[in-house]
Amino acid sequence: MIQINFVVLSWLFAISITVHNLEEAIWLPKWSKSAGRWHHPVEPAVFRFAVLTLTILAYIFAILASVGEKQSIGAYLVAGYALAMLLNVVFPHLIATIALKKYAPGLATALFFNLPVTAGLLYHAVIDAYIDLNRFYYIGPMVTIGILGSIPVLFVIGNRVFVPRKQS
């Protein structure tokens, strides 16, 4: 039987991100065209490039957390990413679904995969001493801000690579 611990949860986190991002990659681009202020319209290829990149990042962080010692940069990176995804359950998914009175793509996987896995990962990160809570109070938000800040950058890159330019 597999013992649930921080390292196992780091890998489950990467898998849950994969499932969540797959749901979004399939349905969010179409939804974004009618989401108003909740999401700017995004081209499918551009959005899929961004979520693929962020999914790969989750696996890189899981690897770093798995091979690193307790209190390693990998442990803080995967825990910070987990914090970002825990917050992502509520905003935008849950709030957008309520405000728009229609399903926001990603809500189901956010609630059924990301919520329990990220909560468990953060809990075990602390009780298994993979992170120091006092350090995490500033590192976690920094990682979250870094991930959020990377999204517009990934959209710009995706637009340059995947959206045909109009000839003048």
Q: Which amino acid is at 36?
A: G
Q: How far apart are CA 146 and CA 99, in angstroms?
A: 27
Q: How far apart are CA 56 and CA 165, in angstroms?
A: 28
**Span 66-105, pLDDT tens digits:** 999 999 999 999 999 999 999 999 999 999 999 999 999 9
Q: Is 87 helix (H, G, I), strand (E, B) or coil?
A: helix
Q: Helix H segments across the chain?
A: 6-32, 44-67, 73-88, 95-100, 107-109, 115-127, 133-162
**Span 111-164, pLDDT tens digits:** 999 999 999 999 999 999 999 999 999 999 999 999 999 999 999 999 999 988
**CATH number, domain 6-162, options 2.60.40, 3.90.930, 1.20.1440, 3.40.50:** 1.20.1440
Which tokens is 160 given?
């340059």
Q: How far apart are CA 83 and CA 88, in angstroms?
A: 8
